A and B are shown apart, each in its own frame.
Chain A
Amino acid sequence: MIAEIIVSVLLVAGGFFGLVGSYGLVKLPDPMTRLHAPTKSATLGVGAVLVASLIWFPARYGVLTWHELLITLFLLLTAPVTGYFIAKAHMHMGWSRDELPCPAPGRDWATFADPDEESFVDRKRRDQQGSQPRI
């Protein structure tokens, strides 16, 4: 009975947060603010549903599975990475360096900085031009 109440509350909360996360995707005005809704709220909603499942199966059927915990951890680890990558790609495509404030004194945005090492594409392009590879 107690497990049923906990699972019901978690399911309702999860559904509410998932709905808010996706409604923010439609409602919010510009791409950088729109990034907030799915990465935080939707992840919290899915996490609540998965924790509800994690409580429900041992309480009802006596079967303990760790899959839900694995999925929750994976989602919580990957959501910030996804948000960071999309924000970086959006800055790379849509903004110029003059429009952005300086991130810190004496530092530059990582998106606009030169890469530390030569990429495979650059190396291939340089090899096709026929120059000697740099060691």
Chain B
Amino acid sequence: MIAYALIFAYGCFGMALLFCLYRVVFAPGLSDRVLALDTMSINVIALLTLFGIDKGTTMYFEASLLFAMVGFISTVAYAKFVLRGDIIE
């Protein structure tokens, strides 16, 4: 049962990643593109966790933690650059 649920979740998050990629390529504005990149990092965290459940190792949690931090900090850096004209003031 776990195997089928894992396959379903893999398919869902893979398709979600493809939707985000479409939005990154054909975005009407800059903020949409950054939002799509942020969502891509969130989906990659989910995929890494699913892979960890699939393989039965806890090794991938550090990778997903790093993805969470880097995604958040890059989005904040973009917003800071737009708002203040400089990232580290």
Which residues of A come within 8 Å of B, CB atoms? Answer: 4-5, 7-9, 11-12, 14-16, 18-19, 21-23, 25-26, 31, 34-35, 38, 42-43, 45-46, 49-50, 52-53, 56-57, 60-61, 63, 65, 67-68, 70-71, 74-75, 78, 81-82, 85-86, 88-90, 92-94, 111, 119-121
Contacts and interface: CB of A to CB of B under 8 A. Distances in A.
Contact of B1 (A4, A15, A25, A31): A4
B32 A49 contact: no
Chain B contact surface mostly: helix
Contacts of A7: 2, 5, 53
A95 B3 CA distance: 48
A3 to B, nearest CB: 10
B6 to A, nearest CB: 6
B72 A78 contact: yes
Nearest to A19: B12
Contacts of B15: 19, 22
A38 B35 CA distance: 8
